[in-house]
Amino acid sequence: MATDKKLALIVSDSIKAQEGAETLRKAHDWVKPADADVFVVLGGDGFLLHVLHEMLDKGRLRPCYGVNLGTVGFLMNRNGTKRTIAERIGRAREIAVHPLEMRATTQDGQEFSYYAINEVSLLRETRQTAKLEVKINGKVRMAELAGDGVLVSTPAGSTAYNLSANGPILPLGCNMLALTPISPFRPRRWKGAILPDSAEVEFRVREPAKRPVSAVADQKEVRDVRDVRICTARDRELTLLFDPGASLEERIFAEQFQA
């Protein structure tokens, strides 16, 4: 069934996405983004994240239907079917995603707040190992974590950087977060933790002058941080649209059973 929703086409600057958009532009009566009910996003995962972050910054959220004209396309739908774009969106399944909110304070007292759809990561800035104190809900759970850094991942981001750091894959709707160390030195065998998404996670940088640390919320970085607080942004809900049988939830399941 075709949708009667007004659609806006948002296209990455990549050559592949621009070429793919030519046919699609002629196949539907598109509206301007300001007038749209749904965004159709052509590109890769990185471009879709860029679009989602722009919506978070501007405060007006719309469902997004991604079409993969990038590389991995984990958050996207495949390009090219016999159905029209309106029919595909009319049949699409909605997946709600809550981002993380990172509140970082630098060594000189500046405060920054950014959202992360995939993960918030703390990373050493120099050759010196980072040393971090880890608090959960105000209680110190680890007095010192030494290594390249640490990250907190949402279920949607658990197959991205988190998986590369040997973190767990989290199913959508599990209401959990992954706390994953990055190349830990001490405690050497600590594999991380799975936390309820109601938890507030706080990191304090130890020996910051000698061991500076940056904090990164998806694509936004704050350098020379003193402490970082992370919690789920309950007041922000993003909606991703997926073709039947190809939802993000299904892809997360499939990722866990790859040979």
pLDDT in tens, 87-130: 999 999 998 899 999 999 999 999 999 999 999 999 999 999 99
pLDDT in tens, 152-208: 999 989 988 999 999 999 987 789 999 999 999 999 889 999 999 999 999 999 999
In three-state form (DSSP H/G/I as H, E/B as E, the rest C), the secondary structure along 66-94 is EEECCCCCCCCECCCCCCCHHHHHHHCEE
Domains and CATH numbers, the chain: 7-98+237-256 (3.40.50.10330), 100-232 (2.60.200.30)
pLDDT: which is higher, 145 or 254: 145
Q: What is the pLDDT of residue 59?
A: 81
Active-site entry in 4, 29, 45, 235:
45
Mean pLDDT confidence for 126-137: 97
Phi, psi of 231 (to 5 degrees): -150, 165
pLDDT: which is higher, 250 or 63: 63
Q: What is the pLDDT of residue 75?
A: 84
Q: What is the pLDDT of residue 251?
A: 66
Q: What is the pTM of this model?
A: 0.84
- One-letter identity of residue 185: F
| Cβ-based burial of 23 (10 A; exposed 0-12, middle 13-18, buried ≥19) | exposed
Q: What is the pLDDT of residue 167?
A: 95
- The residue assigned the tokens 């120099």 is 126
DSSP 77: B
Q: What is the pLDDT of residue 249?
A: 67
Question: Rounded to whole angstroms, what are the CA distances from 6 to 55, 106, 171?
Answer: 17, 43, 31
Residue 82 has pLDDT above 90, yes or no: no
Rg, the chain, Cα only: 20
Is 45 a catalytic site residue? Answer: yes
Q: How far apart are CA 256 and CA 244, in angstroms?
A: 20
Annotated binding site for NAD(+): 45-46, 50, 118-119, 148, 156, 159-164
Annotated binding site: 45-46, 50, 118-119, 148, 156, 159-164
Mean pLDDT confidence for 48-75: 89
**Helix (H, G, I), strand (E, B), or coil: what is residue 245?**
coil
Contact 29, 59 (CB under 8 A): no
Which helix (H) or strand (E) segment holds residue 257: the answer is: none
